[in-house]
Structure 1
Amino acid sequence: MSDKQYTTAEVSQHNKEKDMLIIVDENVYDVSEFVNEHPGGAKILKRVAGKNATKQFWKYHNEGVLKKYAPQLKVGTVKETAKL
């Protein structure tokens, strides 16, 4: 697991077929290699690539899913930008 910090703008750049990041809660996950293994299908991951997928994630998954996959998929956290 990495402690690299990403802004939401940086995450939004990673929305292509072989370069897909998503945000769940405050964590950033690289789902590029996982997309074809996703039990719910690749289409849903492609739809949320580069975005905050927290709401969609918790609608269909429980904490056990995160515990199982986080170690290999988590690449960092969301860095809060200064609010002016």
Structure 2
Amino acid sequence: MGWMNRKSHPGTRDNLIAVQIDWHNTKDAPSVDFVEDTNDPKSFKQVPIETSNDDLPFIDASIVIAAGKVDLLWVIIDDIIYDCTDFVEEHPGGSRVLESFRSANCSWQFWRFHGEKDLEEFGKPLRIGRTTGIENKFKEPPRFVGLRKLWGDD
């Protein structure tokens, strides 16, 4: 089965694992030499800018969490994952802000300081996928406090 090991294989040898299956009837048995390991956070790369958010690859929350343990700086804004590993030093608010949201959801915090234009210009090239199930670790405080009567009991 040399054709499966050709150099033009879409994956790299770093993110491939060997699979061995014993079949009783080898005549009809399917055969796979290598399978891409999608549990490795480093196997996910930034997608082309023209890719819509709906067409981004789905990345399980467990892989997003694991990315923070292998020196990747992924942040989640509205369930879209952004790889800020190379962008962190360019962030106008400083690296500390992004570091505090490593592998975490920072949706409401992002929208408090940024707009759609910022996400389009700086965020779109950093997208690597989408996910679900990663909650923001901070409760969003109310934006506006209502007025009370100064002389009221409440």
Q: Quick one: which amino acid aligns to residue 85 of structure 2?
A: S
Q: In the alignment, is the contact (CA less than 8 A) between 1:15 and 1:46 conserved in 2? A: no
Aligned to 1:48: 101
Task: Write out aligned runs for 1:1-84 (5 A).
Answer: 1=47, 3-15=56-68, 18-79=71-132
The percent of aligned pairs where both chains have the same amino acid is 29
In structure 1, the gaps of 5 or more residues are none
Following the alignment from structure 1 to structure 2, what is the Cα–Cα distance between the partners of residues 78 and 31? Answer: 16
Give 1:16 deviation, angstroms: 5.2
Q: Structure 2 CA distance, aligned partners of 1:8 and 1:70?
A: 20
Deviations 1:36-67 (A, max 9, x none): 00000000100001001111111111111001
5+ residue gaps, structure 2: 1-46, 49-55, 134-154
What stretches of structure 1 move > 3 A for 4+ residues in a row? none
| Bigger fraction of residues in strand | 1
Q: 1:36 to 1:56 in 2, by over 3 A?
A: same
Q: Distance in 2 between matches of 1:37 and 1:15?
A: 19
How many residue pairs end up in the alignment?
A: 80
Deviation at 1:13, TM superposition (A): 1.9
- Secondary structure of residue in 2 paired with 1:19: coil
Q: What is the TM-score with the length of structure 1 in the denominator?
A: 0.82
Structure 2: which amino acid aligns with 1:23? I
TM-score (structure 2 length as normaliser): 0.47
What do you get for the CA RMSD once the two structures are aligned? 1.9
Which AA in structure 1 matches 2:68?
N
